[in-house]
Each structure stands twice: as structure tokens, then as C-alpha cells.
A and B are shown apart, each in its own frame.
Chain A
């Protein structure tokens, strides 16, 4: 079972920052937060992951609350190509640990 909850959908204006929330109140100390996205009829694309510190890469920023019970994925300047289903996933350590997908959140970037 997925250990995260996300709103089912969100709209964002092109060029604005998109802030995608995720709750993971039952996360344990050695579990990471991963974000993936899936554009229609394609395989999921890795975005970012983190443990407790905030993380940033060329795609996005990940802000994790101090108690680690929630996080926010930030797309700083959303484009139309960012329209996708975004999945927030909690995963344990170890190479064989599974990525279990929940329902995700559909982000629609509007012109």
C-alpha cells in the first residue's frame, strides 16, 4: 500500500511556480521521499529524492518538513511540458526496496 497522500489534481499557470504537496505521516526514520512524474503513455521519470534535508536539482526542489511528515515538490517555472501525473513515494533503503505507486496527482499547466 502507498504510504503517501496527495491531492488528486492541481492547476498552475505557465511560468509560475508549482508547489505540489505530499503527506507521509507514517514515514520511518530510514525511508526516503521520492518524486516521479508520468507523462501520458510514457514510463515514469525520476525527478528528485531526499531524506531530511531540502534538495534541489535542475528539475525541481524538494522541501521536507522538519518532522518529515510532509513534503513539497517545487517546479520553479512551470511549462506546458510539465503537465503530468506526479507521484510522491516513500521508499526504504536497500537496492531491492520497492517503489510502490499511489494514485498520484495530476498537474495541469495552463497557458
Chain B
């Protein structure tokens, strides 16, 4: 399958600072990217959907000013957690889908473990 790379895989930051997570599609052009978060022993929760060159669409309850998403190119999307607090500690996962086919599958990055201290 296609390769989606996330960076960093693990980050620890101080409370009040901002953290940027990158998601890259390495061998295909990702027209749509999705960002998820996952708490321990829980399922993935969709945070937002972004299409290249457009503003992201956030799911209900997700603060768009806190979780800034940029999808400026067909191979890169970034998620910035602004003014991070300990409750933002979580596993963040991106997903990328290419093409405009009706049944194209999405591929996932390896995830980023964020710990806010």
C-alpha cells in the first residue's frame, strides 16, 4: 500500500507551548487528509478533514483555534496543537487519501504520541 509518514513519532512538550505534527504522503498525492486522536484503550476519534488548498472541516466539539490544520500541498498536512495542556496528551494519527475515485482507500501514518507536562 501507499506510504504515509508522520513526524515526530513521539514528542514531549511543556504546558503552554505549541507542537506541530507533520503528515506526508510519500508516494502519492493526497487530495484529502484526516486527523484523528486516540486515547488509551479507546478507538480513533476523527478531529478534522482537510482538502488541499481549502480550510479544514472540524468535527463537532473540536476547537479549530486550538488544533490548527494546514494542508498547503498535495503531499503535506500539518496539525499544530496550540497552547498545549496535559489533557491534550494523546496519540494523534493522520490519514491520507489520494485521487478522486469513488472507493479509494485511506492510508494511515504511524501516529504521534504527544505528552504535555
Contact = CB atoms under 8 A, between A and B. Distances in A.
Nearest to B31: A95
Interface residues of B, number: 32
Interface in B1-44: 1, 4, 6, 31-32, 34, 36, 43-44
B6 A95 contact: no
Contacts of B49: 96, 98
Q: Helix, strand, loop or mixed for chain B's interface? A: strand
A44 B108 contact: yes
Contacts, number: 62
Given A96-B51, A98-B46, A43 B109 contact: yes
B99 A95 contact: yes
A51 B105 CA distance: 13
B21 to A, nearest CB: 12
Contact of A46 (B1, B51, B99): B1
A101 B108 CA distance: 13
Interface in A27-54: 32, 34, 36, 38, 41-46, 49, 51
10 contacts: A41-B111, A43-B4, A46-B106, A94-B102, A95-B104, A98-B49, A99-B34, A99-B95, A99-B106, A104-B43
